[in-house]
Each structure stands twice: as C-alpha cells, then as structure tokens.
A and B are shown apart, each in its own frame.
Chain A
Amino acid sequence: MKLKVLFIVLFAMVSCKQDNKSNQVADNLKEVMNKDIVLSGNDLEIYDFNGFEKFLNKKDDKIYIVNFWATWCAPCVKELPYFEKLNKNYKNKGVEVILVSLDFPHLYETKLKPFIKDKKLASKVIALDDVDMNSWIPKVDKTWSGSIPATIIYKNSNKKFFEQSFTYDELETELKQFLN
C-alpha cells in the first residue's frame, strides 16, 4: 500500500517538476520516507523493530507464521521450502507465512534479493534491520536466546514460540493446533 503511495508521489513529482508545487511534493515524499517503512529497489520492505512489531500483533483472526531466518543460516535455508509449502497449502485457509530476514543490510542487494528471486519465494519476505538486539529480542519472546532459525505461530493473542528447526510435518502439526 505504502509502495503505491510512494509511486504516486514519485509520479506526481515527475509530472509536475515545472510546477511550483514540487517543493511541497518533495516534502510529502520525505514524510513518506520517514515513516517506519523504508523501501529500497525490488520492493524489499525493511523495518527497524518499531516498524516490524505490528507483524507480531495482528488481531484479524488469521494465523500468522513468522519465521526468522537469513541466507547465511544453513538450517534456516534448509527449512524454507517447508514454510513455502505450508504457505501454498494453507494461504486460502486464513494462514499467512511471513519470512523475516535477518541478513546484513550491506548484503541485501548481493545476497538477499538474488536469493528471493532465485528461490522464487512466494511467501511475504521482509527484512528486519535493528542493531539493538538486546532490546528487541525479548520483545519477540522472552525465552528467545537469539539463535536462528526461530518461529512464532500466532492467532490473535494466542502465541507459540519455537527456537528450533522444523520439518514440514512438524510445522503442519503445530499449525493444526491453531486451526482447530
């Protein structure tokens, strides 16, 4: 949605560059850019923890499966296909998979974005970039030591946290407890 806003603003900027409105438009653009979401090319959404927190607190009766991963994390990459499969099989049943990349920002262009493209990831992928881990890790779950992969499954205020790797069957079993 915000991406659309940004495009409209950009389009507006280009189309009225001779206009004295352009200053005002530029200000609007700045405002958009300063919001919690910063867009870089290829639509990768990058958040700091404040911006990201909403993905852990949706209360719309959907089941969210939020997986923390990174391209450099071998066990994470190994289990990604299971999350993808789960997303494919359950997206029409009120389930959404969100893959939260903890890749290093300087490797977004060279590692993360090509990875998303090559693997044709269909689940929503967002990037979390916030160095003050000691303040946000306990907000995700107070038992999380900080190792990845880590996964949260939640529906409204019912939440379960896993600091472990999954097989597809294990993942589906956990999901089914939320589906009932």
Chain B
Amino acid sequence: MKKTIKLISAACMVLLISAFTISKTGGSGGYKIGDIAEDFSLKNIDGNMVSLADYKDAKGYIVTFTCNTCPYAVMYEDRIIALDKKYAPKGYPVIAIMPNDTNIKPDDDLDAMKKRAKEKGFTFPYLIDKEQTVFPKYGATKTPHMFVLKKTKKGNVVKYIGAIDDNYKDASAVTTKYVEEAVDALLAGEEIKEKETKAIGCSIKVAKATSSVN
C-alpha cells in the first residue's frame, strides 16, 4: 500500500516537473510555421466560450496575444481593430487572447478587459487564457504577438508568426505591414514573403514558479 502511494507521488512529481519544463520552454518552443494549431475554448468578455471552430465560414484567423497593460499592445490597439475590420469580411477575423496572469497584472482581469474593449470598441472576441495553457502551445512570449492561421482540411495551419508591422511608433510611417501582407498572400494563394518577424514586446506575465519567461 505504502509502495503504491510512493509510486503515485513519484509519478505526480514527474508529471509536475514535466509540466514546468513544458512551460519553461514556452519561449523557444511552441508552433513553428507549417504546424497545425490546436483549437481552444476560452472565455470571452461577454461570458461565452469561444473556439476557432465556431467560425464556420472563416478561411483562417488572425490570432493576437494582447493585453490592456502593455504599452506596445496599447499602441497597436487601433491597428488590431483595423485588421479585423479589413479582414473579418474576407474570412480572416481577429481573435484576441489575453495571456497574462491576472494576479500579477490585475489591470488585465476580465472586468478590465471588458472595460477596455468597450472603450476602444473592439469588433472581435477578447478572450482570457485564464489557465495559461494556450499561449505556451503557440509559443507566444509577449504582447502583442501575432499568429496567422489558415484553415485547411488537416486543421488550422500556422502561416505567420510575429509583429504587426515595422513601426510601432507611427502607423503612418510603416513601410511593411507584415500581417496584412501575410493575409493578402493567403487570400491570393501566394507565398508569404516574410513568415516570421521579431518585435519588442512585454513579456507574458506568469508566476515565477512555473516559468522563466517573466
């Protein structure tokens, strides 16, 4: 009997450690271009659960990890709204996900998200990754962090990972709109020129014990 308990607790430890290891490698791990992104079911600010599969007519998705509290995310809010307005009618809606631990960032909790979405007039779902299980799968490390997915028979294929454009400071001075170019290419059935880009962003906030990405 004692042995069994010991075994079970050992197994639990292994599971725990591997769980930590998985989130620890969240930074460098996560989806690569060409991977199939798993669907999720996350709570929207209206209280309903949202999954990618809910969008029957979508050709793909602009999955956006963002939040209220990161100044880069705030600077890009208008551009994220513009992306949804332009591409939702073409079959690529924005799906925004707030990945931060709200104990660390209380101003990112569901109430604050509701408030911000109302103030800005978000036209897209603003979901909370409360268990913090979705962003590590994507390999999102910061806000804002964009993933463009294309719906195929095999599943939702990751086609673009990275920044929205190449000038956070001034939308009018942007020379390359990375996300728009990616979605335009997908809509035209062409190859995406830049499939991965980098930008400075706020690290996704997680409790120290479970991850080094803080």
Contact = CB atoms under 8 A, between A and B. Distances in A.
Contacts of A132: 166-167
A143 B28 CA distance: 7
A147 B204 contact: yes
Contact of A148 (B178, B200, B205): B200
Nearest to B145: A145
B136 to A, nearest CB: 13
Interface size on A, as a range, is 20 to 34
Given A75-B214, A104-B71, A164-B214, A147 B203 contact: yes
Given A72-B71, A165-B214, A146 B142 contact: yes
A145 B27 contact: yes
B71 A134 contact: no
B44 interface: no
A50 to B, nearest CB: 16
B162 interface: yes
Contact of A147 (B104, B142, B162): B142
A20 B197 CA distance: 52
Interface size on B, as a range, is 20 to 34
Interface in A133-152: 133-134, 137-138, 143-149
Contact of A149 (B167, B199, B201, B203): B203
A102 interface: yes
B154 interface: no
A73 B202 contact: yes
Contacts of A73: 202-203
A1 interface: no
Q: Say whether chain A's binding surface is mostly helix, strand, loop, or mixed.
A: loop
Nearest to B194: A134
Contact of B166 (A134, A147, A148): A134
A163 interface: yes
Interface string B188-214: 000000100111111111001000111
B163 interface: yes
B64 interface: no
B198 A164 contact: no
B120 interface: no
Contacts of B212: 164-165
B168 interface: yes
B153 interface: no
Contact of B199 (A72, A133, A143): A133
Interface in B66-115: 71, 104
A164 B202 CA distance: 12
A144 B162 CA distance: 12
A165 B204 CA distance: 12
Contacts of A75: 203, 205, 214
B71 A146 contact: no
Q: Ordered nearest first, which 7 A-B pairs have the shortest CB separation?
A: A147-B142, A137-B198, A147-B203, A145-B141, A134-B197, A165-B214, A164-B212
26 contacts: A72-B71, A74-B205, A75-B205, A75-B214, A102-B200, A104-B71, A105-B169, A133-B163, A133-B166, A133-B168, A134-B162, A134-B178, A143-B28, A145-B27, A145-B28, A145-B145, A146-B163, A146-B199, A147-B27, A147-B213, A148-B200, A148-B202, A148-B203, A164-B213, A164-B214, A165-B208
